[in-house]
Chain A
């Protein structure tokens, strides 16, 4: 039997990590909720399995998404992951075909050259050796990039790179040592025997000219084995746990499991799947406009993994969703952050702390000491009957031009509508939700729901994307919820309103909550195209910027908000548009404070272009006055 004591570290590491991953998977599966268990089982025997395999190949090995955002960074990840995969795959085949017998222990494949030093002199064997060398060279090229990235992150086109903890550093060093030590071990062995292909062969024979190759090889085989063993053993308590975890994540996601609003297996799997690639850091405006560099999602994931206090990180975020959009692993970062916010005063029950190998934190939300919920002061919900219910929202009441424009449009369209919060209404509940106060938000949601039911309306229109999102997602309503841009688009399509074309150059800023948050990108642009000259800008659709005024950040100073707004406005007004259009009262307010360019909501532009029909069409609403039709 071919055996040498140097393989022991590798073997220990390998069997440890295999057993570990299996155990951990069992625990994770066990912790899943019943429906999610079912989903996973169904996924395992269904389409999800095939999809997952494909995705694992594309994302975990090739790293397609990173390649798309950043070529050099993508190459680095690909060469390490895909290269290593190829090395193991072809190594195993090599050991199987050329080894002494079939079905070898894994170490035979890894240390093939040591046990078969004479192998690969000619013909097919030599060609195979060439292939193996090529793969090794591929990995080494990525490694060079990775090492340089650690010291000069700009090399791979990144502005910031993640900071490391000590176990990460040891693991990183052992990872970095794996391939160079393999290279040297194989080269010395090849040098001593005159074998090896273009890389190990040439290096080996050159080294053999001035070094005792035979004697030098052995310590490097030890080093190779030790670095592999160390890496495997440290893996679970370092960020490299993302490698096995991501496979699990992909499979769970394809089976239809969602983050939800409680911590659980899926949120934990996602947290461990973060590769600390740092793409989210570069995408974050708090980083590049406000110089806040310690709260980005990569750090949040790390802090959760390390059981650090995360409240300072979780609350200091605009919830703009730019990181979600860019994360190559597809981690649902905003929902994860919301879980942390909700657990603001939670007690953590951390189980099995075997130096962090089996940490699984269970969030037990403590009763918040806010006192009893008391919303008795709310009036009796009451609402007149109407087809369409218009809800301006509190932010729109602070920008009355938007409100007046909507009234003008609604009046002109001739629909039968009611203005739900004309005399001021009850908050939609989203600000409380963003602060993690779901129970309190429910009270408001119930109140507003009753108002809507009482109106008998079939369509509910709001001017504020923040309201829109919560009415759409967190109310259980039997009405169609529309943002006013969608509603206006419909009026135009139906021919209910007619407009003049305004010869004005307009740039559209897609609000976070409406665009990335609710997926409404096209309707606002369609409306603008209809009435004005809509121009392109560098930050469109999913890639749009946050105005900085977000309600979600409870930590940021107003100077920093201003910096974000200022940078965003500068980008948007690069081509000196006549109007910077947006579809959110908060964006409008934030932007108008920092620019001389006219900032207007889409409704204002539409109202300006509106051709008013004769007065007879005015319908049941109680706010219409001739004056309002005449002015604006």
Chain B
């Protein structure tokens, strides 16, 4: 067909889109702001619900994108794009101009910056870490405190930066509950002597095999789940972390000490995505993610003809959903290019 599509973002969605497009013979320029592709996937060691290694998914993605039809441009971002009558002109950070017949935005998500929730002490107390930091410990193969001792009592705090009016995010990030369950199990596996407590508002176990994993965590791994939102964290003299929380099932306030606290940071519209929204005039919703044209049958379609969305730049999604969404975007683009012929 001799068509050219620019894909912005080289995470799971962007790679899937690029791979599928090149399969049908469409020329693709894949633009990635980092030095390597993979996006948030690079931060994760193992994935829920089956705890397979994230590297396996990466292998698959690398496999479908390793071909000549894809021009990968790393360390590059988009400075400007304009729609002309039947094509787009795109200026990259390197000053290059790309001419494209369509654009797919796959800018993904950023993890909520947990330091914004100051009362949890991220960035202030050494032994408060995020879910991503814990994954990094997993891939390094050691879970240890700042003074190199092994934590015995570990707390996991759900809904950090999600479902929280005070930080301006009303929505549920959908994946952090199951991530917490997965990580709780992994900690227990890693440190059989440890005790793990999860503090949740609701357990949202709405995916395939999530509920099973939740049950496994309780029955097999003895993880304790306490319903209640943690109000504040402080450090004690012996460098432990003291949390204040209300156990809303028992109806009483609690104070508990932990060696390590893991914050389940939520998902937010990525900074790159916000920039694209600004320069391209793309509509965003109240949750700041890109707003799709129709929630039911147009979730890949933007308010600008020829610009499509793929993956978590429109809402929190897991990897399965992201890949499906990316494939759907491919169909939309192919249709669009056919029509514009």
Contact = CB atoms under 8 A, between A and B. Distances in A.
Contacts of A401: 118, 124
B59 interface: no
Interface of A: 397-401, 404, 423-424, 558, 562, 589, 592-594, 622-623, 625, 627
Contacts of B244: 424
B119 A397 contact: yes
Interface stretch (B11-19, B103-111, B162-170, B262-270): B162-170
A589 B118 contact: yes
Contact of B165 (A397, A558, A589): A558
A20 B118 CA distance: 61
Interface string B228-267: 0001111111010010100000000001000000000000
B124 A558 contact: no
Given A558-B166, A594-B168, A404 B232 contact: no
B237 A398 contact: no
Interface string B104-148: 000000000000101101001100000000000000000000000
Interface in B176-205: none
Contacts of A397: 119, 232, 234
A398 B234 CA distance: 9
A625 B125 CA distance: 14
Contacts of B239: 627
B166 A622 contact: no
A26 to B, nearest CB: 54
30 contacts: A397-B119, A397-B232, A397-B234, A398-B118, A398-B119, A398-B231, A398-B232, A399-B118, A399-B119, A400-B118, A400-B121, A400-B124, A400-B233, A401-B118, A401-B124, A423-B234, A423-B236, A423-B242, A424-B234, A424-B255, A558-B165, A558-B166, A589-B118, A589-B166, A592-B118, A593-B116, A593-B166, A593-B168, A594-B168, A622-B237
Q: Is the interface of B mostly helix, strand, loop or mixed?
A: mixed
Given A400-B125, A400-B234, 19 more contacts: A397-B232, A397-B234, A398-B119, A398-B231, A399-B119, A400-B118, A400-B119, A400-B124, A423-B234, A424-B234, A424-B255, A558-B165, A562-B168, A589-B166, A592-B116, A593-B167, A593-B168, A594-B168, A623-B237
Contacts of A400: 118-119, 121, 124-125, 233-235
A245 to B, nearest CB: 44
A358 to B, nearest CB: 48
Contacts of A593: 116, 166-168
Nearest to A624: B237
Contacts of B118: 398-401, 589, 592
Contacts, number: 42
Top 10 closest pairs, chain A to chain B, by CB:
A398-B119, A558-B165, A399-B118, A400-B124, A400-B121, A397-B232, A398-B232, A593-B168, A593-B167, A401-B124
Interface in B44-58: none
Contacts of A398: 118-119, 231-232
A627 B165 CA distance: 34
Contacts of B124: 400-401, 404
A399 B239 CA distance: 18
Contacts of B121: 400
Contacts of B231: 398
Contacts of A423: 234, 236, 242
Nearest to A559: B165
A625 B165 contact: no
Contacts of B255: 424
- Of the candidates A398, A589, A594, the one having the most CB atoms from chain B within 10 angstroms of its own CB is A398
Contacts of B165: 558
A398 B242 CA distance: 13
A186 to B, nearest CB: 64
A404 B234 CA distance: 10
Interface string B147-177: 0000000000000000001111000000000
A498 to B, nearest CB: 25
A398 B116 CA distance: 11
A406 to B, nearest CB: 13
B247 to A, nearest CB: 16
A423 B231 CA distance: 14
B2 to A, nearest CB: 43
A312 B297 CA distance: 45
A625 B118 CA distance: 22
A620 to B, nearest CB: 15
A592 to B, nearest CB: 7
Nearest to A377: B253
A566 to B, nearest CB: 10
Nearest to B235: A400
Interface string B17-45: 00000000000000000000000000000
Contacts of A594: 168
Nearest to B255: A424
B176 to A, nearest CB: 20
Nearest to B242: A423
A400 B167 CA distance: 17
B119 A625 contact: no
Contacts of A404: 124
A593 B164 CA distance: 11
A625 B237 contact: yes
Nearest to A392: B234
Nearest to B231: A398
A492 B280 CA distance: 51
A33 to B, nearest CB: 43
A564 to B, nearest CB: 14
Interface in B204-239: 231-237, 239
Contacts of A622: 237
A400 B124 CA distance: 8
A622 B237 CA distance: 8
Nearest to A622: B237
A170 B164 CA distance: 51
B234 to A, nearest CB: 6
A584 B201 CA distance: 29
A398 B119 CA distance: 4
A562 B232 CA distance: 22
A400 B243 CA distance: 13
Contacts of B237: 622-623, 625
A397 B168 CA distance: 21
A379 to B, nearest CB: 13
A423 B243 CA distance: 11
B126 to A, nearest CB: 8
Which residue, of B119, B125, B242, has the highest number of chain A Cβ atoms within 10 A? B119
A62 B166 CA distance: 47
Contacts of B167: 593
A415 to B, nearest CB: 20
A558 B169 CA distance: 11
Nearest to A424: B244
